[in-house]
Structure 1
Amino acid sequence: MKKQYLIVAAGILLFASALVFTGTGDTKALNVNDVAPDPLAYTGVITVTGIMAVVSQEDPSLFGIMDKSELQCTTPDCSKFYLPVSYQGSTPAVGDEVVVSGRFTQEGRGVIFVAETVKILRNHNIGM
């Protein structure tokens, strides 16, 4: 009987160890075009990846990111969506591929992604 308890306890310990070392799974970052149609459908903290494309002239803590797929469009007639991101830290450079984590908030008649963290992955020379 003690042997059965030891086997069960060892199994539970192995299972718990596997959860600790592998985690419960990282959340995959969404793309800008994933959230563009209905940003307010995403509640709580989410992660979005995109390319920093523009900075507000009135508020340097506000910048716009576009979907990475937009790098393929090089003609002036492209209709790119810029996701407005508010971040109180250092502003990424134009062309930086970023991963932003935060939440959407309603600001007046618009929606802004308020970032808690911004991680720069690499820079793409987008020549804007």
Structure 2
Amino acid sequence: MQKTIIIAVAIVLGVALAVTVGKVGQVKTVTVAEVGTNPQFFTGTITLTGVMAGISPYDKGVIGLMDTKESQCKNGCEKIYIPVKYPAAPPKVGDEIDATGKFAKYSQGYMFIAEKLKVVKHAKVGS
């Protein structure tokens, strides 16, 4: 009986370890809507998904990222924009992107610093 319990516990621990090891190195993916106005709750490296809404007039290395669902909104839209500092040429307005990086706090607020930016597809932005 005791041997059966030890084997069962070993199997459970082995499965838990396998699940944990399988998640190591994975980056959590979140949307602009999930981040909302609370970027301080998202620490560490994440992948932020959204639609490129425009380029900052003050810094051409910063784009505005809006939620994919909100990009289709025509009236009564919340339109939260997250500033994203990107590492390469900017995507086109309307491109759905995955940006992997971290939030950084500045005196004016938070900015997402992308280490990697990938265009997933082009989305038609609503007016």
Relative to the length of structure 2, the TM-score reads 0.75
Provide runs of 4+ in structure 1 moved above 4 Å: none
Count of residue pairs brought into register by the alignment: 107
Offset at 1:39?
Answer: 0.5
Alignment of 1:1-128 (within 5 A): 24-25=22-23, 26-75=26-75, 77-126=76-125
Deviation, structure 1 residue 24: 1.3
Q: CA RMSD in A?
A: 1.9
Rounded Cα–Cα distance in structure 2 between residues aligned with 1:33 and 1:125: 18
Question: How big is the shift at 1:52?
Answer: 0.5
| Larger deviation, residues 83-92 vs 94-103 | 83-92
The Cα shift of 1:28 comes to: 4.4
Q: Which segments of 5 or more consecutive residues in structure 1 lack a partner in the other structure?
A: 1-14
Compare 78-87 and 66-75 and name the one that shifted more: 66-75
Flag the structure with larger Rg.
Answer: 1
The answer for unaligned runs of 5 or more in structure 2 is 1-13
| Residues 106-128 of structure 1, C-alpha deviations (whole Å, 9 max, x = no match) | 11121100000001000012266
* Structure 1 length-normalised TM: 0.74
